Amino acid sequence: MVLENIRVVLVGTSHPGNIGGAARAMKNMGLSQLVLVDPQEFPSDEAVARASGATDILQGAQVVGALEEALVGCRLVLGTSARDRHIPWPMLEPRECGVTACEQARQGAQVALVFGREYAGLTNEELQRCHYHVHIPSDPAFSSLNLAAAVQVLAYEVRMAWLASEGQPIKQVSVAEEGDEPVMADELESFYRHLEQALVEIGFLDPLRPRHLMSRLRRLYGRSSVSRLEMNILRGILTETIKAARGEHHKREKADV
Ligand code: SAH
């Protein structure tokens, strides 16, 4: 089922009514997978009231403590934002977001649509966990939609793309070879931690003055759709780099002699 592969992730929602409104918007459009990251109040009667009948979605909602947990197993993560952020990120229009999410889901990939807090949106760190950012082109003078309304707009775009793709043959990106599949969001996170460690060890990254280095590297790797095989090579290089920085290679060479 294509639409079941697309999850809606609400981060740090403060008003339970918005959770109910989002569940209703989802159910209207055929989406069913709701993940709540650290909601302020849930379960809640207000959420049930606003869901007006979409209670099955609330009951089935998965509640987790951190965004990383909500993204386990996701190949594509789309983060929504009401405004521009510091570092420009690859952007998708809502329509392209619907098409891309649907295409990936049709190929069996798990996709996440991530929405932020009512008052503060998503943090830069959370946005940098996303492959793309999606902005609903609202009036710049009043750009922020109600959370459930934003869910409604993107759920509608997903539905339109899904209806258009029904009955169409599935486009295979390439002939899959073992290990050729793109890595999941959580594997990318472990890679970034490893990369950061290596960059600190070789003295390229000063943890006291990190600037935007990791953000820029996240953007670079995020748009490369790294495969599992390639990820293993990169991780291998990092492991050897750290060993070299610690002088462990030197010792091994000597031992070999
Ligand atoms: N004051 C916050 C607004 C958050 S609105 C801010 O400036 O970021 C709550 C959430 O609704 C956002 O995090 C986003 O997920 C969604 N949202 C609201 N307006 C949006 C827009 N124009 N485009 C995309 N998402 C939007």
Quick one: tokens of 175?
A: 């002939």
The span from the CA of 36 to the CA of 242, in Å, is 37
**Can you state the angle between helices 147-165 and 16-28, rounded to 10 degrees?**
20
**Strand order of the sheet with strand 91-92?**
62-64, 33-37, 6-11, 110-115, 74-80, 132-134, 91-92
User: Could you list the pLDDT tens digit for every one of the 257 residues in the chain?
Assistant: 899 999 999 999 999 999 999 999 999 999 999 999 999 999 999 999 999 999 999 999 999 999 999 999 999 999 999 987 667 899 999 999 999 999 999 999 999 999 999 999 999 999 999 999 999 999 999 999 999 999 999 999 999 999 999 877 766 655 567 778 889 999 999 999 999 999 999 999 999 998 899 999 999 998 888 999 999 999 999 999 999 999 987 655 655 54
Q: Which CATH number fits domain 3-165: 3.40.718.10, 2.60.40.1260, 1.20.1440.230, 3.40.1280.10?
A: 3.40.1280.10
Distance set, CA 50 to CA 8, 84, 119 (Å): 17, 30, 20
For the chain, residues classed under CATH 1.10.8.590 are 185-256
Ligand 1 nearest-atom number relative to CA 114: 15
User: What per-residue confidence (pLDDT) applies to 222?
Assistant: 87
The verdict on the CB of residue 116 being under 6 Å from ligand 1 is yes
Distance set, CA 65 to CA 38, 51, 130 (Å): 5, 23, 18
For residue 180, report the distance from its CA to the centre of ligand 1, in Å.
35
Distance set, CA 47 to CA 17, 32, 42, 100 (Å): 5, 16, 8, 30
For the chain, residues classed under CATH 3.40.1280.10 are 3-165
User: What per-residue confidence (pLDDT) applies to 167?
Assistant: 77
For residue 83, report the distance from its CA to the centre of ligand 1, in Å.
7
The verdict on the CB of residue 114 being under 6 Å from ligand 1 is no
The verdict on the CB of residue 67 being under 6 Å from ligand 1 is no
Residues 159, 48: contact at Cβ < 8 Å? no
The span from the CA of 20 to the CA of 16, in Å, is 7
Q: Among 10, 78, 145, 157, which is best to mutate for testing ligand 1, by the most ligand atoms less than 8 A from CB?
A: 145
List alpha helices for 34-107, DSSP H: 45-51, 55-59, 67-70, 94-106
The verdict on the CB of residue 11 being under 6 Å from ligand 1 is no
List the residue whose alpha carbon is closest to atom 15 of ligand 1.
115
Neighbours of 230 (CB within 10 A): 16
Ligand 1 nearest-atom number relative to CA 119: 1
Neighbours of 110 (CB within 10 A): 20
Q: Which CATH number fits domain 185-256: 1.10.8.590, 1.10.3720.10, 3.40.91.50, 3.90.600.10?
A: 1.10.8.590
For residue 97, report the distance from its CA to the centre of ligand 1, in Å.
15
User: What per-residue confidence (pLDDT) applies to 1?
Assistant: 85
The span from the CA of 104 to the CA of 111, in Å, is 7
